[in-house]
Amino acid sequence: MEFTFTCALCERALPGATEYSGRELQCPDCNKVNLIPSVEDPDALMTQGSATVTDEHGRPVTTILPAPPPAGDALERPDTEYPTAAPVPIPEAAPVAEAQPVQVQPVQVAPAVAKPVSKSIDVETAQMLSQSYQQIRAEVAKLIVGQEEVMEQLLIAIFARSHCLLEGVPGLAKTFMVKSLSESLALSFRRVQFTPDLMPADITGTDVIQDDPATGQRQLSFLKGPLFAQMILADEINRSPPKTQAALLEAMQEHSVTIGGKTYQLDEPFFVLATQNPVEQEGTYPLPEAQKDRFMFHVKVDYPSREEEREIIKRTTSAYSAKIDPVITGEQVVAIQKTVRKIPVPDHVMDFVLDLVRHSRPADIDASGTARDWVAWGPGPRACQQMIMGGKVRAVLHGRFHVTIDDIEALAKPVLRHRIVPTFNAEAEGVKIDEIIDKIIAETPRGKPRAAAG
């Protein structure tokens, strides 16, 4: 049976049929989707002329009207009237109880704090390094008397992610100094005594055949060498053959070793301190200049002063003992190594580094008179890199966030000592490398900071 029902939104009359009850029909005027209602008593609709459909609660949903006659009948009987849709009654809402006032306690809200950006985190790391530097010196001073300049240069090389070549006569506590420093940094330490029969596998490690108890079969197993530590003391490196020296220098540069075609990464941070005896040269294999250039600093350990030597005697001949407490960890050292690279370098400091290095090259157009007379071979670009990196670390150690010319001058000698080859005339006249460096520094003009524009 066909019938007509009204749209629930705009009350437009829509066609329907009992066989389509429950289906959806979209209103062409308001696009409202209506559900075609069902009529339980079609005869009532025909006799009464209209029917009201209600839901389960007895509320009216829509009004159903009888279907209009065909178009032909309407033309023949124009006086036929059809009932209009009755308005849908809206049920009265239930009375709502009066809301009771709620007492709200005031909440103290802390002022919003902006999340620190990476730059702020870097500043915090730099400040931590400056504070830790004083603590490290105090911890090492429990066992090592004096040698403050040497200790500072060793720390600069560590935080610059580089290595040191240490030179000094026997008995100056070079090994003890490095071991004490590793304890203050919570780093693993290994000492390797280089001898003429030392082979590369003795320091890097080697594959050994082992029996597998589970399968009963033999298999190759890699046995790590002493290089798999974070701080290495290569004692008297010039006593081992070049083959072993090259294996150590490769590990210093790549921070990895390759055994049997397989590459093994070394633990970070990785720092090598190589020593050599300046007195005895018999039966040694001096490092070539190209291999010396791999070291950031050439540090010289000198004799202690009279008062320092008195204190050394007191400590070593009595019941005195002390324990070094770690100040920072290896993870913090790696974070510091990344942070110091972001320290800015002013233009005038960069110009001073370039002038100093280029004045040290005798064949350069900017060479100083001292370099032309006493230098046979000058430093390469790596000297500029190490001066800048060392200056950045030294600035942070002293509580500054910018590099100054004083930082460069303080590190000029350890950076240039092993990168300048004196002439025969200089050696014949007894001129030391440090004297040549002092003269070149004096002949290099100190730049001034440029005034800010505007």
| Model confidence at 89: pLDDT above 60 | no
C-alpha angle with apex 178: 172 to 184, nearest 5 degrees?
Answer: 130
Alpha carbon 250 to chain centroid, angstroms: 24
Over residues 32-50, mean pLDDT: 58
pLDDT of residue 40: 59
Over residues 185-208, mean pLDDT: 84
- Of the pLDDT bands very low, low, confident and very high (cuts 50, 70, 90), residue 301 is confident
What integer best gives the mean pLDDT of the chain? 76
**What's the whole-model pTM score?**
0.66
Find tokens 């790590």 and name the residue: 224
More confident residue, 264 or 1: 264
pLDDT of residue 352: 92
More confident residue, 40 or 398: 398
More confident residue, 139 or 10: 139
32 contacts 10 by C-beta, under 8 angstroms: yes
| Model confidence at 388: pLDDT above 90 | yes
pLDDT of residue 32: 72
Highest-scoring range by mean pLDDT, 144-153, 226-235, 240-249, 402-411 = 402-411
Structure tokens at 147: 């040698």
Q: How do residues 151-171 score in pLDDT, each as one tens digit?
A: 889 889 988 888 888 888 888
For the chain, give every residue range classified as CATH 3.40.50.300: 120-326
pLDDT of residue 454: 37
Lowest mean pLDDT among 84-98, 202-216, 247-261: 84-98
Over residues 364-381, mean pLDDT: 86
**14 DSSP β-pair partners:** 5
| Model confidence at 115: pLDDT above 80 | no
Alpha helices in 342-404 (DSSP H): 347-359, 369-374, 381-397
Lowest mean pLDDT among 100-104, 178-182, 343-347: 100-104
| Model confidence at 341: pLDDT above 90 | no
Q: How do residues 173-191 score in pLDDT, each as one tens digit?
A: 888 888 888 888 888 888 8
Over residues 329-354, mean pLDDT: 87
pLDDT of residue 448: 59
Q: Is 348 exposed, middle or buried (0-12, 13-18, 19+ CB in 10 A)?
A: middle
CATH label, 120-326, candidates 1.10.150.120, 3.40.50.300, 1.10.3720.10, 1.10.260.40: 3.40.50.300
Over residues 68-91, mean pLDDT: 46
Over residues 429-439, mean pLDDT: 89
- Of the pLDDT bands very low, low, confident and very high (cuts 50, 70, 90), residue 369 is confident
| Model confidence at 326: pLDDT above 50 | yes
Q: Round to whole Å and give the CA distance between 167 and 278.
A: 7
Integer angstrom CA distances of residue 405 from 102, 237, 419, 449: 69, 33, 20, 10
- From the list 63, 125, 55, the residue with the least C-alpha distance to 88 is 63
Q: How do residues 241-293 score in pLDDT, each as one tens digit?
A: 888 888 888 888 888 888 777 888 888 888 888 888 777 666 677 777 777 88
pLDDT of residue 411: 92
Q: Round to whole Å and give the CA distance between 47 and 51.
A: 10
DSSP letter for 444, please: S
| Model confidence at 64: pLDDT above 60 | no
More confident residue, 110 or 95: 95
pLDDT of residue 39: 64
| Model confidence at 359: pLDDT above 80 | yes
Q: Round to whole Å and give the CA distance between 287 and 24.
A: 93
Q: Round to whole Å and give the CA distance between 36 and 23.
A: 5
pLDDT of residue 202: 85
327 contacts 140 by C-beta, under 8 angstroms: no
Over residues 343-348, mean pLDDT: 88
% of the chain with per-residue pLDDT over 90: 8
- Residue 137's H or E segment, with its range, is helix 118-140
Please report, as a single letter, which amino acid is at residue 311: E
245 contacts 286 by C-beta, under 8 angstroms: no
| Model confidence at 59: pLDDT above 80 | no
Over residues 47-58, mean pLDDT: 46
Instruction: Residues 343-454: name the CATH superfamily.
Output: Magnesium chelatase subunit I, C-Terminal domain (1.10.8.80)
Backbone angles phi, psi at 339, to 5 degrees: -75, -40
% of the chain with per-residue pLDDT over 70: 79
Within 10 Å of residue 330's Cβ, how many Cβ atoms?
A: 18
| Model confidence at 366: pLDDT above 90 | no
pLDDT of residue 75: 39
- Residue 421's H or E segment, with its range, is strand 421-422
- Asked if the peptide bond before residue 269 counts as cis, ω within 30 degrees of 0, the response is yes
Over residues 289-317, mean pLDDT: 86
Strands (E), 245-378: 256-259, 262-265, 271-276, 297-300, 375-377
Where b means 16+ CB within 10 Å and e means fewer, 310-329 reads: eeeeebeeeeeeeebeebbe
For the chain, give every residue range classified as CATH 1.10.8.80: 343-454
More confident residue, 110 or 263: 263
